[in-house]
């Protein structure tokens, strides 16, 4: 198995680093075991010392993540017709399917943007949008925004750590990863509170 973090560090001053960022963020969009965040954070840390270009780091990561998010969506669309045949009207699974369609119609942007910051959530959301036939144009728009904000946040988290701890690269990387985990936790907590408040509001 490729050690993506070691590979990125070995190419930190090479233009090939940006190809690695595209590849790792692409694969991480549908393969949970690919660790894109630490790799992007490392690239951001080295941008603080001028060894990488923060704009290119963000651009490469955005491109890879955007293209990667199209994969599970496409798989979902291919499975859509076959799946609907197994969801007869009135069944619990068909009810759940129809509920998710309504949720996406009402707040698809919120779901796609927030789940992009949650490793497991991003896979489920992108695959599910394809399965329920979410419109491609809207999906592309929201995913482009989600991947660009995720890429900027992840890279700049590393960059901030690199600026503050320029004399200690290992500490800078640790701080960057820690900040990323904290923000991810905050986003997940916000989503949990949003779901709870919505459920309370629906109680007659």
Position 26 confidence tier, pLDDT thresholds 50, 70, 90: very high
Give the DSSP per-residue string, 115-184.
Answer: HTTSHHHHHHHHHHHHHTT--HHHHHHHHHHHHHHHHHHHHHHHHHHHHHTTT-HHHHHHHHHHHHHHHH
pLDDT reported for residue 179: 53
Segment 150-160 shows an average pLDDT of 87
- What is the value of pTM for the model shown? 0.77
Chain mean pLDDT for the chain: 79
Q: What is the greatest pairwise CA distance in the chain?
A: 63
Give the DSSP per-residue string, 57-83.
Answer: HHHHHHHHHHHHHHHHHHHHHHHHHHH
pLDDT reported for residue 21: 95
Lowest mean pLDDT among 14-18, 35-39, 101-105: 101-105
Q: Which residue has the higher pLDDT, 92 or 41?
A: 41
């Amino acid at each position: 198995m490729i050690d993506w973090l070691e590979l990125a560090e070995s190419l930190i001053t090479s233009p090939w680093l940006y190809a690695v960022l595209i590849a790792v963020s692409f694969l991480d969009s549908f393969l949970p075991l690919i660790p894109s965040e630490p790799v992007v954070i490392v690239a951001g840390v080295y941008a603080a010392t001028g060894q990488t270009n923060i704009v290119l780091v963000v651009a490469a990561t955005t491109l890879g993540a955007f293209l990667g998010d199209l994969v599970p969506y496409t798989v979902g669309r291919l499975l859509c017709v076959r799946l609907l045949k197994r969801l007869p009207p009135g069944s619990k699974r068909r009810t759940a399917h129809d509920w998710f369609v309504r949720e996406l119609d009402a707040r698809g942007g919120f779901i796609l943007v927030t789940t992009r910051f949650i490793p497991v959530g991003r896979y489920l959301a992108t695959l599910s949008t394809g399965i329920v036939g979410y419109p491609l144009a809207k999906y592309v728009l929201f995913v482009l925004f989600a991947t660009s904000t995720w890429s900027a946040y992840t890279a700049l988290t590393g960059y901030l750590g690199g600026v503050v701890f320029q004399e200690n690269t290992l500490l800078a990387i640790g701080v960057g990863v820690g900040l990323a985990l904290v923000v991810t936790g905050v986003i997940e907590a916000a989503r949990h509170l949003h779901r709870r408040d919505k459920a309370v509001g629906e109680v007659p």
